[in-house]
């Protein structure tokens, strides 16, 4: 094997590199926000709150969606396209269900008077989880693109890189939600 081919095999794909840079930036942003949350919670007017039970169910949904997307990637690599399509559809459905459950959970908090103006602690909650929601919506858009490509009638390109990138990103937002949920439970 030539050294050029071996060198190309060792390089990271530009889309994967960009994704990892983006993930590193998102990690730094959430690290800063959760650090600020810890510092601000020592204020005398800080109000503790209970996390709605539906957040636990939404956590199970997003974990299952990561598993289905992992299986979809495996099916794509094995060229089991029918299975891949059904798993992408399932993951997309679970991603939307996660968002719906989050909206229900925040509606419950809002009904209890936990609004943005009520207290700085609630503002932090909405900002941190709202930013996560934006990243989940980005993941859902990426899943919609995978869905559209999977059901497109164009000639298929069996390049797994787009599926790998979406899968990595989706697993990341899954991990990020688990981190945020644990953070909100531990640091009240």
Give per-residue pLDDT as tens, 148-188: 988 887 766 778 899 999 999 999 999 999 999 998 888 76
In 3D, which of 117, 19, 108, 103 has the Cα closest to residue 61? 103
Residue 53: its pLDDT value, please? 92
Which contacts qualify for 43-48: CB closer than 8 Å, 24 or more apart?
43/120, 45/119, 45/120, 46/119, 46/120, 46/121, 47/118, 47/119, 47/121, 47/122, 48/121, 48/188
Residue 120: its pLDDT value, please? 74
- Alpha-carbon distance of 167 to 142, in angstroms, equals 9
pTM score, whole prediction? 0.86
**Residue 7 tokens, joined:** 């060198």
Give per-residue pLDDT as tens, 62-83: 999 999 999 999 999 999 999 9
φ/ψ region of 6 (left if φ > 0, alpha if ψ in -120 to 50, else beta) reads alpha
Give per-residue pLDDT as tens, 32-58: 999 988 888 887 777 777 888 999 999
Residue 7: its pLDDT value, please? 55
- Alpha-carbon distance of 1 to 53, in angstroms, equals 57
- Alpha-carbon distance of 62 to 178, in angstroms, equals 9
C-alpha pair distances (Å), 63 with each of 8, 49, 70, 91, 98: 34, 24, 11, 10, 10
Residue 31: its pLDDT value, please? 94
**Residue 99 tokens, joined:** 């968002």
- Alpha-carbon distance of 144 to 97, in angstroms, equals 14
């Amino acid at each position: 094997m030539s050294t050029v081919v071996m060198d190309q095999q060792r390089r990271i794909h530009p889309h994967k590199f960009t994704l990892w840079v983006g993930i590193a930036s998102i990690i730094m942003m959430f690290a800063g926000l959760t650090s600020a949350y810890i510092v601000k919670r020592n204020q005398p007017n800080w109000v503790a709150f209970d996390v709605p039970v539906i957040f636990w169910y939404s956590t199970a949904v997003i974990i299952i969606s990561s598993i289905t997307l992992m299986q979809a990637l495996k099916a794509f690599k094995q060229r089991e396209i029918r299975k891949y399509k059904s798993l992408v559809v399932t993951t997309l459905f679970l991603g939307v269900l996660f968002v719906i459950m989050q909206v229900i959970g925040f509606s419950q908090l809002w009904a209890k008077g936990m609004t943005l103006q009520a207290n700085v602690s609630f503002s932090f909650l909405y900002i941190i989880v709202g930013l996560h929601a934006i990243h989940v919506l980005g993941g859902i858009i990426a899943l919609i693109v995978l869905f559209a490509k999977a059901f497109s009638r164009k000639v298929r390109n069996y390049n797994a890189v787009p599926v790998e990138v979406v899968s990595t990103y989706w697993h990341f937002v899954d991990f990020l939600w688990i981190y945020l949920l644990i953070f909100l439970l531990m640091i009240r």
